[in-house]
Structure 1
Amino acid sequence: MKQKLSMLLVMLYALILIVSPVSAQNVSAIEAYQTTGNYMVTKAPNPTFGNEWFIIALARGEYKVPKDYYDKYYDNVVKHVQSVKGELHSRKYTEYSRLIIALTAIGKDPTNVGGYNLVEKLSDFDKVVWQGSNGAYFALIALDTWGFELPKTATTTREKLIQHILAKQLPDGGWDLSGTKADPDMTAMALQALSTYKDRQDVKTSIDKALNTLQKLQQANGSYQSWGVTNIESAAQVITALSSLNIDVSKDQRFNSTFNSFFSFYNAKDGGFKHALTETAANGMATEQAAYTLAAYNRLVAGKTKLYDMSDTKKQPSTPEQPNKPAPPTSKVSFKDVQSHWAKADIEAAVARGLLKGYEDNTFKPNNSLTRVQAVSILVRALQLTSTSSTPFTDISAYNDETKREIAAAYEANLLVGKSNKFSPSSPISREELAVMLANAYAHQTGKAYTAAQIAPLKDIAQLSEKSQQAITFLYNFDIAQGADGSFHPTNSITRAHAAKMYVNFLKVVEQ
């Protein structure tokens, strides 16, 4: 009897293994991404216009595509753009946004595709938003990929797009294309577009409300429904949004079950993802969305720029603030996009001192994120640090010798934290990371580390390391940075505006 029972249990266990979906426990995000990459390349061996999401997923996840794969795609796109004389669609302007995102993902300039400027197509605001809120989402994302500026005659502006998105938020905290109840996909897409501006108070309030809505929309197992169907695309958009907001879905208690649910749609047989659990084979659209979601998540974990921040694909990786020595002081500096900005005085002071520079179109772009290499270069030049040796970093070879020397000088002065051989130069620097760098710089300049008897009364730093708590307290006590609403927001990336304020205030301290 016992033998029969044992055999029955073994058979039952084997049956469970056969019918159970692949879960996060037996396939990693990296492994799943590799199989989806193979799936997409196999499905589109000669990619052309219309394969943009495949291209975005492959490029941003850094999948090792066949030789000349992206060149084939670009050549096919050029032929298509020229064949339609630059008019991709008369009404659906997401066609332009999608192509801009794909081209910047592979380092190609969308302002000159076979002689046509695709970015300028987004100048007409009414046409951009004609098809709905998603037109505004992706136009904003497209413009932010490389920080594009539209002509002065354009009716589209970033601020107008942001306000349009905020105005379309429903009373329940989410977004929908045309309905009155929050849809998880549309809500997540709105968050992806707004993520670059998450430090703005109006945007932050909107984001917090939407995150609460997404939490409520989850089913018991963390999955999401759209149009009455439990599907992977909805979960994928949510995870992409969270990654864009620098939230690790696998560690966030509100959404970690969504991460596990996401992998239940993985189809080990063909390496793709199914749209619904009832399907027996991978679905192309489901797989492309799952793939760029995995790319977004893996980039977050690796400390790289977010999915749609293509600043790392530009041909010249050096910082905008590049000359070796600060520019000579000027009596007055002014930019057209900071006239009513809260940090106007700090920005003008930082530029006057040569710490940061504006752009050729007389803008400062105060809300753009500061990268790690930019943060280092500014501080090294301000303190006139020099280097006598190289660094152990293996990911800075693309930078010019001058920038490498600046990174080496920061490393030699013990300004940098961590012992990894990766510097992640193009990744945005977080508020916590810059705090530690400035505290280390203070110790280097004064010969003594700052140690406070009492940690700053900020409610979101208690779980940080002691070193980070002391560094943030240093900023707080010396009025270099105070945080907002009783919080420091340590994981948020530093904007150029916040950087201007912090660097100016820091130099006041060390130069006393």
Structure 2
Amino acid sequence: MKKTTAKQSTLKMTFSFLLFSSIFGFTVVGNTQAQATETPTAVVQNVKTSTSKAHATFTTSVKSINQVVQADDYATAITQGVNWINTQVAAEKLTGWDALALVRSSTGITDAQKTQIQTNIETNYADPSTQHQPTDYARDVIGLICVGADPTNVNGQNLVQEAVTNGIAADADVYAVTYGLIAATAAQSSGAGNVQTADLQIMVTNLLGMQNSETGYWTDQYGYTLDTTGMALQALALYLGNDDFNTNNRITDAVNSATDVVTRIGDGGALQDDGNFKDPFASDATTNSSSDAMLVAGLVACGKNLSTALSTIPPLNALLSFQVLDGTDTGSFNWTAETTYDRQLSTQQAVYALDQYSYSVDNQGSIFDFATNPIN
């Protein structure tokens, strides 16, 4: 394996988070100019920049990874995470992912937040000439459904159709397909838009075709594996019990292959004995709350029981260990044990992953299934 220098390792770890900040529509971090000179051009073009910058902060007061997770610990963690979003995130910064995290929690979402999130999303589409990432459309479709607004007419733009068009495109990457499928399914299940089953079939087939048949993982064009696989599992979970899509058990087989390798310790597996997940193919990989959250959500959505003895410390403990215990950031989630590059992003992901955990424990299905779990 090619030796990676400390400088390259730092850049790759930073870009790993930058990539997912771009996907979820957040401000990128730090020295953009330095990254642009040392990151491939195609990658830089995929990263969404902003004039405001989020700087790394440090927190040492997080939960002990060794604490025993009681039955109500994840519920408390959700409440604390929601409280942080409610009190520490500026109203004009709330996004569709905040809407999902809030509306699927027991605390719920206020009418004022619904109105504000709808306004924030509509503002993004005020100029029809503005270019958006495929994942922007998907995020905003989900967000508008969560706040009870119409995603098919946002300043004259049909975001559902945009998500579908990007998801079925011949050159669609794994993010466009994964989130296009999730958003289109959310729209169809909520009665928003006119999503065709044939288009959903195309996205399911394409997503299955993107799985690495040798490793069982989904990997993006930049070599990132864990978050991508967690996202794919969340999308496929929506169709596991659907015979019209699960022809010849193709979805079941793909999910089984992925869940087996993700929860394996060693031998190409991602699970660590401390309950965290770590990319087995990257020598400079680091454990972080985003990867843990995406995989916890994907695994439990697909019916994987994380309370069994998969590792010495359960994955749920590992995810909860990133939650801050005191100070103004109480309830939020660090990205790594002591640092965060975008606290809002890390907290959104952790909270809606815990929402999914709660739904799965109660046999409520997917948080993206608005037919089974309608918004009140």
SS of residue matched to 2:287: strand
Shift of 1:176: 0.8
Which residue is equivalent to 1:30? 75
State the distance in 2 between where 1:239 and 1:159 align: 25
Q: Which of 346, 355, 360 pairs up with 1:286?
A: 346
Answer whether contact 1:236 1:262 (CA < 8 A) is retained. Answer: yes
1:206 aligns with 2:260: no
Q: Aligned to 1:117, which of 154, 158, 175? A: 158
Match of 2:304 in 1: 247
Structure 1 residues 189-268: aligned runs within 5 Å: 189-199=231-241, 200=246, 201-215=249-263, 216-226=269-279, 228-250=285-307, 252-254=308-310, 257-268=314-325
The answer to whether the 8 Å contact 2:63/2:322 transfers is no
1:41-81 Cα shifts (integer Å, max 9, x gaps):
22334145x62211111111142445521112213323432
Distance 1:161 1:280, change over 3 A: closer
Question: Take 2:253 and 2:222, find their aligned partners in 1: how far apart are those partners?
Answer: 22
Look up the match of 1:482.
none
Q: Which residue of 1 aligns with 2:131?
A: 89
**Of the candidates 62, 73, 96, which is equivalent to residue 52 of structure 1?**
96
Please tell me the residue identity of whatever aligns with 2:203.
L
Q: Which amino acid aligns with 1:249?
A: L
**Which residue is 2:42 aligned to?**
none
Opposite residue 186 of structure 1, the aligned amino acid is: T
1:176 and 2:257 are equivalent in the alignment:
no
Q: 1:159 aligns with which of 201, 205, 210?
A: 201
Report percent identity of matched pairs: 22
Describe the shift of the 1:109–1:175 C-alpha distance in structure 2 as closer, same or farther (beyond 3 A): same
Offset, 1:300: 2.0
CA RMSD of aligned residues (A): 3.1
Name the residue aligned to 1:419: none
Contact 1:41 1:65 in 2 (8 A): no
Query: Map of 1:247-396 to 2, 5 A cutoff?
Result: 247-250=304-307, 252-254=308-310, 257-269=314-326, 270-279=330-339, 283-311=343-371
Q: Which has the higher contact order (CA 8 A, sep 6+)?
A: 2
Distance 1:178 1:139, change over 3 A: same
Instruction: Report the Cα distance in structure 2 between the residues aligned to 1:209 and 1:137, rounded to whole angstroms.
Output: 18
CA distance in 2, matches of 1:78, 1:198: 34
Task: Supply the AA of the counterpart residue of 1:310.
Answer: F
Structure 1 counterpart of 2:181: 140
Instruction: Note if contact 2:62-2:323 (Cα within 8 Å) is conserved in structure 1.
Output: no
> Are 2:148 and 1:107 aligned?
yes
Q: How does 1:424-443 map to 2 (within 5 A)?
A: none
Residue by residue over 1:444-486, the C-alpha shift from the partner in whole angstroms, topping out at 9 and shown as x without a partner, is xxxxxxxxxxxxxxxxxxxxxxxxxxxxxxxxxxxxxxxxxxx
Checking the alignment, whether the CA contact within 8 Å between 2:168 and 2:202 is kept in structure 1 is: no
* Partner in structure 1 of residue 12 of structure 2: none
| 1:59/1:20 CA distance change after superposition, 3 Å | closer
What is the number of residues matched between the two proteins? 292
Distance 1:217 1:79 in 2: 40
Q: Does 1:21 align with 2:74?
A: no
Quick check: 259-268 or 121-130, which moved more? Answer: 121-130
- What is the identity, as a one-letter code, of the residue corresponding to 1:167? G
1:272 Cα deviation from its structure 2 partner: 1.2
TM-score (structure 1 length as normaliser): 0.51
Do the aligned partners of 1:122 and 1:128 also contact (CA within 8 Å) in 2?
no
- Cα 1:61/1:88, change in 2 over 3 Å: farther
TM-score normalised to the size of structure 2?
Answer: 0.69
Change in 2 beyond 3 A, CA 1:129/1:89: farther
CA distance in 1, matches of 2:100, 2:195: 26
Q: Deviations over 1:345-375 (max 9, x none)?
A: xxxxxxxxxxxxxxxxxxxxxxxxxxxxxxx
Q: CA distance change for structure 1 residues 263 and 167 in 2, over 3 Å: closer, same or farther?
A: same
- Contact 1:189–1:241 (CA under 8 A) maintained in structure 2: yes
Contact persistence 1:232–1:275 (CA under 8 A): yes
Q: Give, in angstroms, the shift of residue 283 of structure 1.
A: 2.6
Give the counterpart letter for 1:31 in structure 2.
T
Secondary structure class of the residue paired with 1:163: helix
Q: Which runs of 5+ in 1 are unaligned?
A: 1-17, 316-397, 399-512
Tell me what 2:85 maps to.
40
1:61 pairs, out of 105, 116, 137, with 105
1:267 and 1:281 in contact (8 A); partners too? no
SS of match in other structure, 2:371: helix
Partners of 1:121 and 1:282 in 2: CA distance: 27
The one-letter amino acid of 2:322's match is F
